[in-house]
Structure 1
Amino acid sequence: MILKRNQLLILIKLVFNELNWLKLKGKIKKIKLLVMDVDGVLTDGKLYIDNEGNLMKSFNVKDGLGLKLLMENKVKIAFFSGGSGGATEKRAETLKIDYCQVGIKNKFTALSNLQKKLSLTKEETAYIGDDINDIPVKKIVNIFFAPKDASNYVLRMCDAILTNSGGNGAIRELSERILSFKGSLTDIEKKGWLERND
């Protein structure tokens, strides 16, 4: 079967993306703190507002389990959001995320302060974001990840692009990649999961 030109280009892009991930293996193994933007990363970026003005967001349960697996394997998780409204805080509470900051104007300062509080270095910190307000943190993280539907600005400057979109499994994919490089995924696959999947 002969591949069409578009199929061949997609295949080449996927191969290069996987090679890029392999080059990052050493850096990924050092991750002790994963900080993530919320809207467009943990969610699909859509905001739902009912007729009483209540704000709702949609979160992916598979992403939630991925975060639990990371925390179980000693990776600290932080949610950073420029927005507010309660949904982010509720999701953090459900997943038992220790570090949830909303209404952030300057993510660079917020992340720098969190690193100091946790006594963690740039080399131990990774970030995943999807838009231009996330770009300033690149200077103080070892790896900057992006979901595949991030803004073009972020896609051009990030270190690795996930194959899933924000709110649609990007965080689960990233969790599995991190755990795989840290050597924990095989054990998890054999044992399965016995706790709640929120």
Structure 2
Amino acid sequence: MSRLGLRFRLQRRLLSPRLRQIQLLVCDVDGVLTDGGLHYDEQGRVVKRFDVRDGLAIRMLQRADIEVAFLSGGRSGAIEQRARHLQVSHCLVGVGDKLSALRQLQATLQLEREHTAFIGDDLNDLTVRPATGLLISPADGAAGLRRQADWVLRRRGGDGAVRELAESLLQHRGLWRELNREGWRDGNA
């Protein structure tokens, strides 16, 4: 096993007790659920690319009774559309103060810090640190965030990072093996 592979396995093992406590996964959007690129159509509208495997991961987490929310400083219409498609009922966009918005969401859901994981990719996501039990970065997150994150994933934002995280959360609940054996029957995401 490579040195990097060993490091990731050790990191997950150390995080195991915290992963079992997660009841809310909050996702930044640009750079996490997308690759962070901005694509414009002929009318000047922003077009975003979402990874379908990340979408299926979100649906699997929801079925496992893990609440998923989107929390983004951006606003494009595509985020809200993706949230509707995935039945994500907490889609907070155009947010300037992510920490305040996250704390308000936790109060609404009656969840504590240790039950909350946040995945973000840039320095503006560091502000949520006081309200999270786990701060997670995709492999290509900003260096400052990666240094302070509890977990840096192997996958890049918009390229399976949320799927990697979801698989770990489901493994720690004993559900991943069943999904691998039985498959997913609730359609694409």
Which of the five TM-score ranges fits, normalised by the shorter chain? over 0.9
Match of 1:4? none
Match of 1:15? 6
Cα deviation for residue 140 of structure 1 reads: 1.0
| Residue number among 56, 68, 72 corresponding to 1:81 in the alignment | 72
Cα distance in 2 for partners of 1:48, 1:191 equals 38
Cα deviation for residue 156 of structure 1 reads: 0.3
Match of 2:139? 148
Q: 1:38 aligned to 2:29?
A: yes
Amino acid of the residue matched to residue 31 of structure 2?
G
Cα distance in 1 for partners of 2:179, 2:76 equals 35
Amino acid of the residue matched to residue 75 of structure 1?
I
Give me the identity figure in percent.
39
Counting only pairs closer than 5 Å after superposition, residues 88-167 of structure 1 correspond to structure 2 as 88-167=79-158
Structure 1: 5+ residue runs without aligned partners? Answer: 1-7
Match of 1:171? 162
Cα distance in 2 for partners of 1:144, 1:182 equals 19
Match of 1:5? none
Match of 1:26? 17
Count how many residue pairs are aligned between Structure 1 and Structure 2.
Answer: 189
Match of 2:174? 183
Amino acid of the residue matched to residue 144 of structure 1?
L
Larger Rg: 1
Structure 2: 5+ residue runs without aligned partners? Answer: none
Amino acid of the residue matched to residue 50 of structure 1?
D
Amino acid of the residue matched to residue 147 of structure 1?
P
**1:58-84 residue CA offsets vs partner (Å, 9 max, x unmatched):** 000000000000000000000011011
Amino acid of the residue matched to residue 145 of structure 1?
I
Cα distance in 2 for partners of 1:81, 1:46 equals 15
Cα deviation for residue 21 of structure 1 reads: 0.9
Q: Secondary structure at the match of 1:126?
A: strand
TM-score of the superposed pair, with normalisation by structure 1: 0.93
Counting only pairs closer than 5 Å after superposition, residues 61-72 of structure 1 correspond to structure 2 as 61-72=52-63
Cα distance in 2 for partners of 1:30, 1:183 equals 13
Q: Secondary structure at the match of 1:39?
A: coil
What is the alpha-carbon root mean square deviation over aligned residues?
1.0
Cα distance in 2 for partners of 1:20, 1:196 equals 33
Cα distance in 2 for partners of 1:158, 1:145 equals 5
Cα deviation for residue 191 of structure 1 reads: 1.4
